[in-house]
């Protein structure tokens, strides 16, 4: 570990120790966390910002949260699906030294849910023959609605972001993943 990394971890750790659990996180529902992440309040304190999960990610979908979102969230891993989608490989859970990202089974992955914006979708709005989101969905969570446009089955969607990443709409995608419906692990239950 380099000196700079050590001082960063020491500083953040000291801050957590002195402030304890009195903190209310304003960005609690903003981030899409890696598969197997524990609940946000525990995740913020358990993650030491070592970057091991980010280094091992084969799709480079894990990025450290910018300081602009807050000191407590800073440096923790999150996914920005439009930039790069999760491959659901679970490599991040294998290298997490603190248990902030737990080992889980593939069928238990739920990092978010995709939702289609019909006003931006090429099929719904312009009657184009697209369906790229359906082609890239690794779990077949998107189907062709009876009215012709693509539709997401929320219970099947893992939230990986393949659909959002590959959506051909320029700029903001017509299908977006949010952390709505995510399944996070509670440390209290596991003890």
Give the chain's end-to-end CA distance (angstroms, integer).
31
Q: What is the pLDDT of residue 21?
A: 45
Q: Which domains does the chain have, with CATH numbers?
A: 27-109 (3.30.70.20), 110-183 (3.30.70.20)
Percentage above 90 pLDDT, the chain: 75
**Residue 81 vs residues 26, 31, 95: alpha-carbon distances, Å:** 22, 11, 22
Q: Give residue 160's pLDDT.
A: 97
User: Which residue in the block uniquely carries the two structure tokens 């609690």?
Assistant: 28
Read off the pLDDT band of 6 (50, 70, 90). Answer: low
Q: What is the tens place of the pLDDT at every residue in 106-127?
A: 999 999 999 999 999 999 999 9
- Residue identified by tokens 């700079």 is 4
Nearest Cα neighbor of 163 from 132, 124, 130 is: 132
Alpha-carbon gap, residue 138 to 155, rounded angstroms: 14
How many CB atoms lie under 10 A from the CB of residue 174? 24
pLDDT at 182: 84
Q: Tell me which of 11-15, 71-75, 92-96 is least confident.
A: 11-15
Q: What would the two tokens of residue 103 be?
A: 């080992």
Per-residue pLDDT tens for 42-69? 999 999 999 999 999 999 999 999 999 9
Helix (H, G, I), strand (E, B) or coil at 10: helix
């Amino acid at each position: 570990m380099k000196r700079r990394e050590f001082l960063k971890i020491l500083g953040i750790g000291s801050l957590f120790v002195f402030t304890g659990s009195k903190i209310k996180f304003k960005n609690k529902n903003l981030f899409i966390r890696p598969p197997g992440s524990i609940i946000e309040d525990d995740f913020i304190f358990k993650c030491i910002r070592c970057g091991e999960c980010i280094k091992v990610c084969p799709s480079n979908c894990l990025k450290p949260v910018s300081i602009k979102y807050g000191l407590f969230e800073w440096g923790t891993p999150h996914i920005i699906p439009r930039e790069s989608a999760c491959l659901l490989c679970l490599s991040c859970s294998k290298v997490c030294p603190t248990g902030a990202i737990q080992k889980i089974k593939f069928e238990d992955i739920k990092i978010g849910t995709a939702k289609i914006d019909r006003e931006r979708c090429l099929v719904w709005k312009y009657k184009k023959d697209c369906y790229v989101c359906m082609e890239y969905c690794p779990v077949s969570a998107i189907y062709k609605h009876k009215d012709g446009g693509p539709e997401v089955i929320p219970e099947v969607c893992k939230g990986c972001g393949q659909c959002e990443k590959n959506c051909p709409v320029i700029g903001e995608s017509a299908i977006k993943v949010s952390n709505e419906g995510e399944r996070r692990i509670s440390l209290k239950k596991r003890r």
